[in-house]
Chains A and B, each alone.
Chain A
Amino acid sequence: MLKVENLSASYGGGEAVRGVSLSVEPGQIVGIVGESGSGKSTLLSCIMGLLGDRGRILGGDILFEGRSLLSMGREERRQMRGKELAMVFQDPELSFDPLWTIGKTLYESIRVHGPVTKKEARKRGISLLSSLELKDPEMLLDSYPSQLSGGMCQRAAIAAAIVCGPRLLLADEPTSALDVTVQKQVIDTMMGLRERLGTAILIVSHNMGVIARMADMVGVMKDGELVEWGEKKQVLYSPSHEYTKALIAAVPRMDGRLPHGGFYG
Chain B
Amino acid sequence: MDEIILEVKNLKKSFRGPGGGGKRLTAVDGVSFSVKRGECLGLIGESGSGKTTTAYMAAGLLAPDSGEISFYGTHLQMIFQDPKRALDPRRKVADSIGEGLLYHRGKLSRRQVRERALEAMDMVRLDRAYAGRYGRELSGGECQRATIARAVMIRPELLICDEPTSALDVSVQAKIIGLLDELKHSLGLSYLFISHDIALVSGFCDRVAVMRGGRIVEMGETADVLSRPREEYTKVLLDSVLTL
Instruction: List the interface of chain A (C-beta within 8 A of B).
Output: 35-36, 179-184, 187, 206-210, 212-213, 236-237, 246-261, 263
Contact = CB atoms under 8 A, between A and B. Distances in A.
Contacts of A207: 242
B199 A253 contact: yes
B81 interface: no
A209 B178 contact: no
B244 A208 contact: yes
Interface string B192-227: 000011111011100000000000000000110010
B170 A184 contact: no
B177 A261 contact: yes
Contacts of A258: 174, 177-178, 181, 203-204
Q: Which 9 A-B pairs have the closest CB atoms?
A: A209-B242, A261-B174, A252-B199, A250-B174, A261-B175, A261-B178, A35-B169, A179-B46, A259-B174
Contact of A180 (B172, B177, B202, B241): B241
B240 A181 contact: yes
A154 to B, nearest CB: 14
A255 B226 CA distance: 10
Contact of A253 (B171, B172, B196, B243): B243
A36 B169 contact: yes
Contact of B198 (A36, A206, A237, A254): A254
Given A252-B203, A259-B203, 16 more contacts: A36-B169, A180-B196, A181-B240, A208-B243, A212-B243, A252-B177, A253-B202, A253-B203, A256-B223, A256-B226, A258-B174, A259-B174, A259-B178, A260-B174, A261-B176, A263-B172
Contacts of B172: 263
B236 interface: yes
Interface of B is mostly: helix
B173 interface: yes
A250 B165 CA distance: 12
Given A256-B203, A261-B177, A263-B175, A251 B242 contact: no
A247 B173 CA distance: 11
B202 A255 contact: yes
B177 A259 contact: yes
Listed residue (A212, A249, A256, A260) with the most chain B CB atoms within 10 angstroms of its CB: A256
Interface in B118-159: none
B112 interface: no
A181 B198 CA distance: 12
B199 A250 contact: no
A247 B244 CA distance: 12
A183 B243 CA distance: 13
B65 to A, nearest CB: 26
A180 B174 contact: no
Contacts of B239: 184
Nearest to A210: B242
